[in-house]
Structures are given as structure tokens and as C-alpha cells.
Amino acid sequence: MIDKNYRKISVSRQCELLSVPRSSHYFTPKGESEENLAFMRLIDEQYLKTPFYGVRRMAYVLNAAGHGVNEKRVRRLMRLMGLEAVGPKPRTSVANAEHKRYPYLLRDEEISLPNQAWATDITYIPMRKGFLYLVAIMDWATRKVLSWRLSNTLEADFCVEALEEALQKYGPPGIVNSDQGCQFTSLAWTRTVENAGAKVSMDGKGRCIDNVFVERLWRSVKYECVYLHDWQDGHEAQKGLAEWITFYNEERPHFALDFNTPARAYAAEKIVLTPSKRAA
């Protein structure tokens, strides 16, 4: 909003008119150090294996592997990455009254039709010189990734944009399931879901298995794509993820779909999953 090349009004006056301190205008964030980015990569890899590890266990594992890091730093980096241990937690804060929590609607439901239910979640994407957050909208029955977005913040905007793209391309589902993250309890998200005619569903607190298919997608994304590359910046990450998600949807056979691809399964009228394959 402040234009330093606008000669009619000085930068100082523009800051004054916008009630913005000049120090804030000139401030440039340093970003995370290479050491912290390396720690974040290690934490991300360990979290995929043991999502129930909290700060203490995570710090112990890193130190046991020869990485000198204290609990205070691990706690800060996990918060920055949007990671927290799966499990019951004390009631340490009261939820925003405007952010309604919704019940989990998929328990004991047989989801076998495309667009019967969608699922979504956010994960951390490491790069050589920084990190991004990835959100994906997935069809529950067919495992197809319907849309996705990258962002350098954890605001709700990029999640809503991904949802709007999926709604525009594929029409509304019956249910949209997410965790209880602030992005998905925000009015921007819930109103978009409900205005489309879908029902809002949310995982139980500390129950990652309620959104198990997206959790499995993140494992595949990380081990089959992200960890195999050393992306320099967001442009490389965007291109690499776009190529992998196209491969995942259209070429990669899925065990739970009798080795059909998600795109082929989505185009079918009904998906039949045996009990042994429902969580695959």
C-alpha cells in the first residue's frame, strides 16, 4: 500500500496516513537460518513416522541422532511448522466464539461414490532456502486430488481458494471433512462449504485417523516427491508438486482401488473397497 516512488506524498506521510510505523515499513524479515531449516526438515521426517511425539520426545530423538538442539527451539519450530503431537491435550484455551466446531460425520459411513465426501489438510513443504505450506482437497472414495495450493503463511485464504477451485471444477460434494485447525474453523471456510450445499465435518480433537486418507497422501507426497528433490524456491516446488500430483492422479496405480488410478476411479460410477483396503 505504501509506494516509495510516489513523489507527491513522502513515505513518512504515507505511513502516517495509514497509521503504520515507519519502522514496520522498512523492516525486512530475516527468515530462518540454514541450521533451523535443517532441523525443520528432520522434524518433518520424524513426524511422519511418529505423529504422536511431542516436543520432549522429538528433542530427545534429534539429540540421540547427534543433532544438538534444546526443547525450546524444537517447540518454536514445531509451532512454526504447524505441527503438534496427536493425542489428548489439556483444555488450555477457549475457542473463539465465532469459530464453531462441527461433528465428525464420516464415522461408520460407507463412502463409495465420487463427490460423496471430500477431505482436506495442510502439510509443511521444506525447501533449501525456506519452506511453504501445502493444502489439498481430496475425494474420499477415489483418493483423487481435486485441487491444491501452496502458501508461505497459514492464513485461511489459500485453503478457501483451493476449495473454490474444486467446487468450480467438480461441483459440490455431500460432506467436506477437515481437522479443527483455525483455517477450517474460520467463517471464510465454513461459509464456503455450506453455501455450496455441502455439510461441514471435522475430525475429533487429537484423532489423525479420522482423516487418514489425506495423512496417507502426505506420506506419499513427502517420500515419493519432496524428499527426492532439493527445491531452491517456491517456483521449483510449484512445478515439482504439479508434476507429481498429475502422476499420482493419472498414472500411479492405487492398491486400495484394485490398482486403478484415482482419476480412473473418479470417472467410475461406484467404488467398491474391500475391508482390508479401506485404510490403504
With contact defined as beta carbons under 8 Å apart, do 201 and 102 qualify?
yes
> How far from the centroid of its chain's Cα atoms is residue 75's Cα?
19
Instruction: List Cα–Cα distances, 40 to 10, 18, 33, 129, in angstroms.
Output: 41, 36, 11, 12
Residue type, 200: V
Query: Alpha-carbon distance 157 to 71, whole Å?
Result: 32
Residues contacting residue 27 through CB under 8 Å, at least 6 positions apart: none
Return mean pLDDT, the chain.
83
Distance CA 131, CA 171 (A): 32
Q: Where are the strands (E) in the chain, listed by range?
A: 117-127, 130-139, 145-151, 175-178, 199-202
Q: What is the CATH number of domain 117-277?
A: 3.30.420.10
pLDDT at position 193: 96
Query: 263, 144 in Cβ contact below 8 A?
Result: yes
Would you state the torsion angle of the CA atoms of residues 264, 225, 40, 214, taken in this order, to the nearest 10 degrees? 10
Question: Which residues share a beta bridge with 270?
Answer: none
Cell of 132: 511453504
- Say how many C-beta atoms besides its own lie within 10 A of residue 193's C-beta: 24
Q: Going residue by residue through the chain, which has 280 residues, state the pLDDT in tens, using 9 for 90 and above.
A: 555 666 667 767 666 655 656 555 444 445 678 888 889 989 988 988 888 888 999 999 999 989 989 999 999 999 888 887 765 544 433 345 566 888 989 888 888 899 999 999 999 999 888 889 999 999 999 999 999 999 998 889 999 999 999 999 999 999 999 988 889 999 999 999 999 999 999 986 545 566 788 988 999 999 999 999 989 889 999 999 999 999 999 999 988 888 899 999 998 865 555 443 444 4
Task: Report pLDDT for 20.
Answer: 57
The pLDDT assigned to 95 comes to 44
> 230-267 burial, b for 16+ CB within 10 Å, e for fewer?
ebeebeebeebbeebbeebbeebebebbeebbbbbbbe
Tens digits of per-residue pLDDT, 160-214? 999 999 999 999 999 999 988 889 999 999 999 999 999 999 986 545 566 788 9
* Whole-number Å distance between alpha carbons of 191 and 16: 36
